[in-house]
């Protein structure tokens, strides 16, 4: 069953889309803002219906992010019927552009057409998500709220290890076995503590009160999703 993410701040339209698409046999998740949408991305989305006017950001920016960092096809839903907006949306990676108001049967047909078009060429999603942080493994890049985060090699390897085992405690010993500095030297326990502190400063909103990279006292660390 194909899973569709609806990113639409109009609750009336979002509810109508959910009902109709479920009746058509789709699994549906809905988000009223980009922050909610980011948290749903790692749940196996097959297509995103994306409004351009959202309360916490520009749909074009999110469209570009999805196009560059995921294999999720995108259909833009918007009241904007200007040809320049349509060209812009398609040029940054949208697969289709539907203006409001629209007929539901037409939208469903276009959804099925996009899914057919991408099914045979859809690559594996190389991304890992946690909170508002994303790792693009293929490009070895990290993003927070769609903005790039510059990490050292060891910071990246630590974050990658924790996100690959999200919600699982990784002991300090396990981490130390995996991490080596750039000269091939073994990372010691004190260095790991400093490394975690630096990483939190780059990916946490409040490094002194971390919500994503948590210390499990007496054992090690774990990465967890969080609200807000």
Q: Do 136 and 64 belong to one domain?
A: no
User: Residue 183 has what pLDDT?
Assistant: 46
Measure the CA–CA gap between 101 and 117, rounded to whole angstroms: 24
The predicted-structure confidence for 155-174, as pLDDT tens digits, reads as follows: 999 999 999 988 899 998 88
Is the same domain home to 31 and 86? Answer: yes
Predicted pLDDT at 226? 73
Contact 214, 221 (CB under 8 A): yes
**Which stretches of the chain are assigned E, i.e. beta strand?**
3-7, 27-31, 47-51, 53-54, 57-58, 74-78, 96-99, 127-130, 133-136, 141-144, 147-149, 170-171, 213-216, 220-223
Buried b / exposed e along 100-125 (16+ C-beta atoms within 10 A): eeeeeeebbebbeebbeebeeeeeeb
| pLDDT value, residue 120 | 64
What span, in angstroms and rounded, lies between the C-alpha atoms of 42 and 37? 10
Q: Are 61 and 20 in contact (CB under 8 A)?
A: no
The whole-angstrom separation of Cα 62 and Cα 64 is 5
Are 61 and 103 contained in the same domain? Answer: yes
Domain limit, last residue, from 69, 97, 119: 119
Is 228 inside a domain boundary? no
Instruction: Kindly report the length of the chain.
Output: 228
Q: Indicate whether 151 belongs to any domain.
A: yes
82 assigned to some structural domain: yes
Cross-strand bridge partners of residue 31: 7
> If phi over 0 gives left and psi between -120 and 50 gives alpha, with beta otherwise, what is residue 31?
beta
Pick 28 or 185 by higher pLDDT: 28
Pair (103, 165) in one structural domain: no
**Are the C-beta atoms of 160 and 133 separated by less than 8 Å?**
no
Kindly state whether residues 114 and 131 are assigned to the same domain. no
pLDDT in tens, 176-208: 887 764 444 556 778 899 999 999 999 999 999
pLDDT on residue 208: 92
* Number of domains making up the chain: 2
Comparing 5-9, 217-221, 224-228, which segment has the lowest mean pLDDT? 224-228
Examine the domain organization and report whether 13 and 109 are in the same domain. Answer: yes
Q: Over range 65-86, report the average pLDDT.
A: 84
Residue 190 domain-assigned (yes or no): yes
Q: Is residue 21 part of a domain?
A: yes
Beta strand segments in 107-212, E: 127-130, 133-136, 141-144, 147-149, 170-171
pLDDT for position 153: 86
Residues 95, 148: one domain? no
Domain membership of residue 135 as a residue range? 127-223
pLDDT of residue 227: 55
pLDDT of amino acid 139: 82
CATH label of the domain that carries residue 145: 1.10.10.10
Residue 87: per-residue pLDDT: 83
35 and 88 fall within a common domain: yes
We report the CATH number of the domain holding residue 31 as 3.40.50.2300
142 and 114 housed in the same domain: no
Sign of the four-CA dihedral 168, 35, 103, 119: negative
| Overall pTM surpassing 0.85 (yes/no) | no
Q: Residue 167: what pLDDT?
A: 86
Place of tokens 């409001």: 100
Does 64 share its domain with 170? no
201 and 105 in one domain?
Answer: no
Burial of 74 from C-beta contacts in 10 A (0-12 / 13-18 / 19+): buried
Residue 24 lies in a domain: yes
Say how far apart CA 7 and CA 228 lie, in whole Å: 17
Q: Helix, strand, or coil here: 180?
A: strand
**Largest CA-CA distance found in the chain, in angstroms, rounded:** 63
Task: Quick: pLDDT tens for 101-156.
Answer: 889 999 999 999 999 888 766 455 678 889 889 998 888 899 998 889 999 988 99
Per-residue pLDDT at 12 exceeds 90: yes
pLDDT computed for residue 187 by the predictor: 64
Q: Do 52 and 134 sit in the same domain of this protein?
A: no
Domain stop point among 100, 119, 138? 119
Q: What is the pLDDT at residue 74?
A: 94
Query: Could you say which of 93, 119, 145 is where a domain stops?
Result: 119
Q: What is the DSSP letter of 212?
A: S
Quick check: 67 pLDDT over 70?
yes
């Amino acid at each position: 069953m194909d899973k569709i993410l609806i990113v639409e701040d109009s609750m009336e339209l979002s509810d109508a889309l959910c009902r109709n698409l479920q009746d058509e046999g789709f699994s549906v998740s809905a988000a009223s803002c980009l922050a909610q949408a980011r948290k749903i991305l790692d749940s196996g989305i097959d297509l995103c219906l994306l409004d351009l006017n959202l309360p916490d950001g520009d749909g074009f920016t999110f469209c570009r992010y999805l196009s560059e960092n995921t294999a999720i096809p995108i259909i833009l839903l918007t009241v904007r019927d200007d040809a320049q907006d349509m060209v812009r949306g398609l040029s940054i990676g949208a697969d289709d552009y539907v203006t409001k108001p629209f007929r539901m049967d037409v939208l469903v047909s276009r959804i099925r057409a996009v899914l057919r078009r991408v099914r045979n060429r859809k690559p594996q999603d190389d991304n890992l998500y946690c909170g508002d942080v994303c790792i693009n493994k293929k490009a070895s890049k990290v993003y927070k709220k769609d903005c790039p985060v510059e990490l050292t090699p060891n910071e990246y390897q630590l974050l990658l290890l924790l996100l690959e085992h999200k919600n699982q405690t990784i002991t300090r010993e396990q981490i130390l076995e995996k991490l080596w500095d750039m000269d091939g030297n073994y990372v010691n326990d004190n260095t790991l503590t400093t490394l975690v502190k630096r990483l939190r400063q780059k990916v946490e909103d409040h490094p002194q009160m971390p919500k994503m990279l948590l210390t499990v006292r007496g054992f090690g660390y774990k990465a967890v999703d969080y609200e807000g």
